[in-house]
Amino acid sequence: MASVFRSGGFVLAGGQSSRMGFDKARLQIGGQPLLLRTLNLLGTFVDSVAALGSTDDYGFIHDPVIRDRQPDRGPLAAILTGLEHLTTE
């Protein structure tokens, strides 16, 4: 018999925006911020989703937002924070 397990995922938000010139998470597409659209899409494939970034900057877009444990250390540090907060397999 196949085992049933819950899955989770997260989306990195924030960063320096050095290439884009502005915060792409707030970029409006179809009347929604890109971050929210991405989280909603991911939510169709996993049981729970979270945004990784600043709660001050992204709390209005989605809940939960997980604050980087090591801010300004780059995307790998943010991914580590996300993995540490997953409560699913």
In this prediction the pTM is 0.82
Q: Which residue has the tokens 């397990």?
A: 5
Q: Which residues have C-beta within 8 Å of that of residue 16, sequence separation ≥ 6?
A: none
Residue 32 lies in a domain: yes
27-54: average pLDDT: 93
Please give the pLDDT value at position 15. 76
7-24: average pLDDT: 85
Q: DSSP secondary-structure letter at 25?
A: G
Which amino acid is it at 46?
V
Residue 61 lies in domain: 8-85
Residue 1 lies in a domain: no
- Summarised one tens digit per residue, pLDDT across range 58-82 is 888 878 999 989 888 889 999 999 9
Residue 54 lies in a domain: yes
Residue 35 lies in a domain: yes
Q: Domains in the chain: how many in total?
A: 1
Here the CATH number for the domain that contains residue 39 is 3.90.550.10
